[in-house]
Amino acid sequence: MKIKRFLAPDMRQALRMVHEDQGPEAVVVSSRRTEAGIELLVALEYDEQLVSALGAAAPVARSSKGALGAGVDPAPEGHVETAAVPAGLPRTPPPKDAIEAMGGELRRLRAALECQLRWLEGRNGEPTPSVDAKARAERLGLGSALAEELVAEVRTEGHLGDRIWPAVRTALGARIPTVSEDLVSRGGVFALIGPTGVGKTTTVAKLAARFALRYGRRHVALITTDAYRIGAREQLLTFGEVLGIPVDFAADRDELGGLLQQHARKRLVLIDNAGLSQRDLRLAAQLSDLARIPLIKSYLVVSCSTHPAGLDDVFRAFGRTRLQGCIVTKLDEAVSLGPVLGALVRHQVPLVYACDGQRVPEDIHPALSLDLVERAETLASESDHDAVPPETFSEYKEAHGFV
C-alpha cells in the first residue's frame, strides 16, 4: 500500500494534484488546513489499519503554484514522494467475521432507509402498507425502533402489500421467547422475585394449587423470605391454610438453606421473596443470597401495568442474577401489552406464565406468544375506538369563543 501527502494552497489544486498523480481510484483518507495550505493524505490501495501508522511517516508533496507560507520550499509540480508500508505491519485482509458483520449492518441500514423513504412517499397521500404496518405496531406500544425493525425484517423476507402486517405479527410472536413446558409439571425449587406489588404471593399460591391438584399437596412446600412488607407472611399463611400446605419463614440465607434441606424430598418448593424496587440497595443482597444456593431457579414476575419507562430498568436490575424465565401478571388490568412484549424481545427472558386475574388457580396460563400478540392488538383496537378525536383548529376557535 502506498501513502502520499499532497500540499497545495487550496483544496482545488490539491485535488487536481491527486487526480493527475494517482487517478480516479485514489482514496483521500484525511485532510486538514495548515499554515502552509491544504494537506491531503491519499492512499491508492486503502487499508484502514495502516493509516494511523503511516500518517506521521509519509513524506509531503507540495504544489509549486501559489504562496504556501513562509519557510516552505515549493517542489516541482507533480513531484510526489511515496512512503512504503513498514515491514512490521501485516498485509492481511480484514477478518471474515468483521466483513459479515459490516454486511449485515449495511443491509439493516438499507432496510431502514427504504422504510423511511416509503414513509415520506405516503405523507402526502394514502399511507403505504409499510407505513401502515409500522403505525399499527407503534399503536401496540412496541416503540418506534422495534416497529421499524419488524417492518424492515418482513420486507427483507419478501412480504409486500397486505401481507406485511400479518407477517409483522408473526415476526413479533417469533421474537418473544417462551417456555412451552408447564413449570409445575417438572417440579424443583423455584424463587419468585420482582418489584413490589406485581402479585408474587398470589402467583406462588396459583402455582402451588396447580401442582397440588395434579400431584397432591403433600409434595408441595411454601417458603417466604418477606420480612419487610406488613402482612406478607399472613397472606401466604392464609393461602397455605386454604390449600392445606404448610408455610415456613426464612429470615436469612442460612435459614433458607436449612429449610430446603428439610424439604429435600418435596417435588416442588416455592419461595416467595420480598418485593424490592429495582433501585433498592437491598436488591443486590437478595439476588446474591439466591444465587449462592445452586438448587434455586429464579423467575422474574412483572406486571403489565408497570410504566413502560420502568420495564427496562426492572429487567436490567433483576437480570443481574441468572433468570430462568418470566411470569407476566395483571393482564386483566393492562391498557397496553406492547411495552412488556417489547421488553421481553429486547432482554430475551423466556416467558413462562401469564396471569389475568386473582382466582386461584384458574387465572394462570402457560404463555403463548401469538395469543399475547393477538390480545395486545385487541387492546390497541379498543383504545383507538375509545379515543376522542383531536379538535381541529377551527373547532377549537369556535368552542372557545374566538369566532
144-154 confidence digits (pLDDT tens): 888 888 888 88
Range of the domain at 74: 1-86
DSSP string, 155-214: HHTT--GGGHHHHHHHHHHHHS-B--S-HHHH-EEEEEE-STTS-HHHHHHHHHHHHHHH
With a cut of 90, say whether residue 227 has pLDDT above it.
Answer: no
CA 206 to chain centre: 30
Do residue 167 and residue 191 come from a single domain?
A: no
Whether residue 323 is contained in a domain is answered as: yes
Helix and strand numbers, DSSP H then E, in the chain: 15, 12
How high is the pLDDT of residue 277?
Answer: 80
Whether residue 114 is contained in a domain is answered as: yes
Residue 389 and residue 391: Cα distance in Å, rounded?
7
Beta-carbon contacts of 333 under 8 Å, excluding residues fewer than 6 positions away, are 303, 304, 305
Do residue 82 and residue 190 come from a single domain?
A: no
Do residue 165 and residue 191 come from a single domain?
A: no
> Greater confidence, 41 or 110?
41
- The residue-averaged pLDDT of 270-282 equals 84
Whether residue 99 is contained in a domain is answered as: no
Any alpha helices (H) in 308-403, and if so which ranges? 308-318, 338-347, 369-386, 393-399
With a cut of 80, say whether residue 383 has pLDDT above it.
Answer: no
Do residue 367 and residue 279 come from a single domain?
A: yes
How high is the pLDDT of residue 4?
Answer: 78
Could you say which of 152, 175, 198 is where a domain stops? 175
With a cut of 50, say whether residue 73 has pLDDT above it.
Answer: no
> Greater confidence, 186 or 46?
186
With a cut of 90, say whether residue 43 has pLDDT above it.
Answer: no
Whether residue 98 is contained in a domain is answered as: no
How high is the pLDDT of residue 158?
Answer: 81
Q: What percent of the chain has pLDDT over 70?
A: 73
With a cut of 70, say whether residue 142 has pLDDT above it.
Answer: yes
Number of domains making up the chain: 3
Whether residue 284 is contained in a domain is answered as: yes
195 close to 242: Cβ distance less than 8 angstroms: no
Do residue 316 and residue 196 come from a single domain?
A: yes
Do residue 12 and residue 46 come from a single domain?
A: yes
> Greater confidence, 354 or 78?
354
Whether residue 230 is contained in a domain is answered as: yes
- The residue-averaged pLDDT of 310-315 equals 90
Residue 22 and residue 10: Cα distance in Å, rounded?
18
Do residue 255 and residue 330 come from a single domain?
A: yes
- The residue-averaged pLDDT of 134-142 equals 85
Whether residue 403 is contained in a domain is answered as: no
